[in-house]
Amino acid sequence: MAGNDRLSSQQLIQRINARTAVIGVMGLGYVGLPLLRTFHAAGFKTIGFDIDPAKVEMLRAGRCYLRHLGDDFIREMAGSGRFEATCDFQRLNEPDAIVICVPTPLGRHAEPDLSFVQHTAEAVADRLRHGQLVVLESTTYPGTTREVVLPILEKAGGGQPESNRGEPPVNGATWRCGVDFFLAFSPEREDPGRKSHSTQTIPKLVGGIDAESLAVAVALYETAVEKVVAVSSAEVAESAKLLENIYRCVNIALVNEMKVLLERLGIDIWEVVDAAATKPFGFQAFYPGPGLGGHCIPIDPFYLTWKAREVGLPTRFIELAGEINQHMPDYVIQRLTGALNGHNKSVKGSHILVLGMAYKPDIDDIRESPSLELIEKLLALQADVDYNDPHIPRIPRMRRHRLRLESVKISPAVLARYDCVLIATHHSIYNWREIADSAQLIVDTRGVMRKVPHAPGKVVFA
């Protein structure tokens, strides 16, 4: 498509409905790649953009780097003639719609780090042409789409003849959202590893910067997702995403605090939760664990608390939940230390095997996994630590962690050599009966050993 073509909202909607629009997705991770697959399955020509050449080469070769997704759909896309993967951001003028799915981590002081969003928006602005739709899916604080992304796009130098691309708009005028381009926010709702949900079946919230942008964005998602829910503004959509994750954070903190209390009282927290869950109304079961993992729940609440401080309001309830959940790895180490002491051993010099590195079962995602912090704390206490995770053969270098470990193979003989086996993630592939029979001592943070007969004193719940 020529760089100086101009599309009205209705013309763009017509292209979307006819499946002649080209869809670009920026950031091909746990959110972007499934979304790209969903648009491809809906019949669109798709272009995936990523800064990682290794990812792009794997996709071009028909291979998937997200193990829980498998290679089949990548091979199908690669052979369809309607899919490309590229690191060349100069091609951002080609898609009719660009969906941004980049990380929004926290900085060193738990402040929002929007550098990925800002740099991506600047790359889009550099090639923006008239009539393009831009949608932000990255989780962030209310106002980001309007206050951060919009000004960058309004100053875009795109849409000019190629010889003038990058030059400021004529007479210094800014581009107008809803006229020259369209901008919306639609929060990702991915749930990796859960086969009952998919990008196509999870309802999609959409909030536009203006009515024209909302109409175009709704039309786009309606072609690929079973149910689209339009809200009145981008800010509502941004806030709804935070509420969803804060809801989980607060309830997990509640049950984690109950776990610590009930352990002192000699009461089984998992049995208590199961009992409460028999109530058919007014209760939803949340289960305790060694801490919070994944990109959303450990991080997103801090985006709202930061924004709240900007307007002078405390969020004590949310911050308290964060404190409780952040303390859980310390509680696990405390319980493990006591368990080893009960076997006349100290943490220092003990051989400890951590089972499960992913933050949730049956996936290969270790973002913010509490297992990382557990290993670091054990190493700081001079324990000898290994891990096993069939989904994660080695721990990659990460922003906050520098663990250079590879997954060890387990067998009854191997399990028996460790002073303690720490169950951090309950992958379905594990043979809990074999683990219970073979291990000298088990510290269970997931409650999986409750239903496995074991020798008295061998299992400690944490």
Residue numbers annotated as active site: 296
Task: Give the pair of three-digit tokens for residue 93.
Answer: 């003028």
Q: Going along 7-89, which residue ranges are E strands? A: 22-26, 45-49, 83-86
- Per DSSP, what are the bridge partners of residue 406? 394
For the chain, the first-to-last Cα distance in angstroms comes to: 59
Strands 351-355 and 459-461: unpaired
Distance CA 184, CA 213 (A): 6
Distance CA 430, CA 432 (A): 6
Residues whose CB falls within 8 Å of the CB of residue 60, separated by 6 or more in sequence, listed in order? 78, 85
**CA-atom Rg of the chain in angstroms:** 24
Contact 408, 388 (CB under 8 A): yes
> How many other CB atoms are there within 10 angstroms of residue 169's CB atom?
16
> How many other CB atoms are there within 10 angstroms of residue 197's CB atom?
13
> 357 vs 342, 365, 395, CA distance in Å?
26, 8, 8
Distance CA 239, CA 140 (A): 8
